[in-house]
Structure 1
Amino acid sequence: MELTPAELTVLGLVVEQPRHGYDLEQVIEQRGIRQWTEIGFSSIYYLLAKLEKRGLLSAEEAGGGAKSRRVFRATRQGRQVATDGALAFIADGRTVPQPVLVGLANLALVAERDYDQALSSRLTRVEARIASVTEAQRSQTPLPPAAREVFSYSLSLLEAERSWLVARVRGGDE
């Protein structure tokens, strides 16, 4: 059973521990998951319902009265599908589309001064993102191993991009 990145991410978070929709939203926000997968706030409940319908999650009411929430748990099949999906995504050699490559491929259309300004602007955003991801990682310690690896990989990619940008913007002064 093949999952989309958003489905696998939600399923994986529920495999990590049983969760309700609002809890998922908080974890997605805290870990910066929206930076690398498309999970909108409004799509969380849609994804939960879809995964439940496919037999990958089960739900039970928690709490009483008006504040009751459905808490989702991964089924045995859900755990297996999540494991298989995670391994498939890790081994997958496809590259993620990078809009910057489209811009670079059309560099002949851009004045050098504008290109330098665009690179400087991108460097500023990348440095801000590095600071944000680093702070998010630091504020959530200790992290589950999966989250720790996501932060590590994300920071490595951002640092590589920062290094490439610095070499072009500042002539490698740093």
Structure 2
Amino acid sequence: MSLTPAELTILGLVIEKPSHGYELEQVIERRGIREWTDLGFSSIYYLLGRLEKRGLVTAEPSAGPAAGPKARRVFRATGAGVAEARDATLALLSSTRPSFSPFLTALAYRPLVGEREFTAAVRQRRDALAAQIAAVQGARAAQQPLPPHAEAVFDYSLHLMRAEKAWLDQAGKGDDTA
């Protein structure tokens, strides 16, 4: 069974450093991981539970002052978890999958809207994307220095967003008199 991107994200973080759920949330926030993956705070423990049931992580109570009956559980990757994460990473790196963007659906039905409406909507998307690019650049700058793999995530994401913005710049040059 393959890992979802959200499962791989959580498992990868646990492989980097055994952690409890709140620590994972802090790393996700600090690294700006939500800028490139759909991973909510409430899903962290759910995903850890799924990974534990599959034998990809184990959990044990944390040691130290928080120990006791309500101690946080520290999750560690198992050998099977590391192997599964490695296989999932290689599969995602080497294969292409179609992008099922709702934007592509809207483009397919562009004839349903007039040229003026299309141009206005595309310009609105372009402006929102420009703001998103600025936010990702800010998150990236706030994280310096970054490990090379984290830098690659930001770099790739920014390239994709800039490519879409360039396309939107061209598509948004409609005739305003229509």
Task: Give the TM-score normalised by structure 1.
Answer: 0.89
In structure 1, the residue matched to 2:108 is 105
Find out whether 1:145 has 2:148 as its counterpart.
yes
Amino acid at match of 1:128: A
Show the 5 A alignment for 1:11-160. 11-62=11-62, 63-65=64-66, 68-160=71-163
In structure 2, the residue matched to 1:5 is 5
* Cα separation, partners in 2 of 1:36 and 1:97, compared to 1, 3 Å: farther
Q: Which runs of 4+ in 1 moved over 4 A?
A: none
57-66 vs 101-110, which moves further: 57-66
Deviation digits for residues 30-88 of structure 1, max 9, x if unmatched?
33433443322211101101111211112222243477321211112111110110111
Instruction: Tell me if structure 1 keeps the 8 A contact 2:15–2:77.
Output: yes
CA displacement at 1:147 relative to structure 2: 1.6
Aligned with 1:19: secondary structure? coil
Q: Number of residue pairs matched?
A: 171
Provide the alpha-carbon RMSD of the alignment: 1.9
Larger radius of gyration: 2
What residue ranges of structure 2 are gaps of 5+ in the alignment?
A: none
Name the structure, 1 or 2, with higher relative contact order (CA <8 Å, separation 6+).
2
Aligned with 2:58: secondary structure? strand
Find out whether 1:167 has 2:162 as its counterpart.
no
Aligned with 2:97: secondary structure? coil
Instruction: Tell me if structure 1 keeps the 8 A contact 2:119–2:173.
Output: no
What residue ranges of structure 1 are gaps of 5+ in the alignment?
A: none
CA–CA separation in structure 1 for the residues paired with 2:43 and 2:54: 16
Task: Give the TM-score normalised by structure 2.
Answer: 0.87
CA displacement at 1:18 relative to structure 2: 1.6
CA–CA separation in structure 1 for the residues paired with 2:102 and 2:35: 14
Deviation digits for residues 80-121 of structure 1, max 9, x if unmatched?
110110111111211221111111110101111111110111
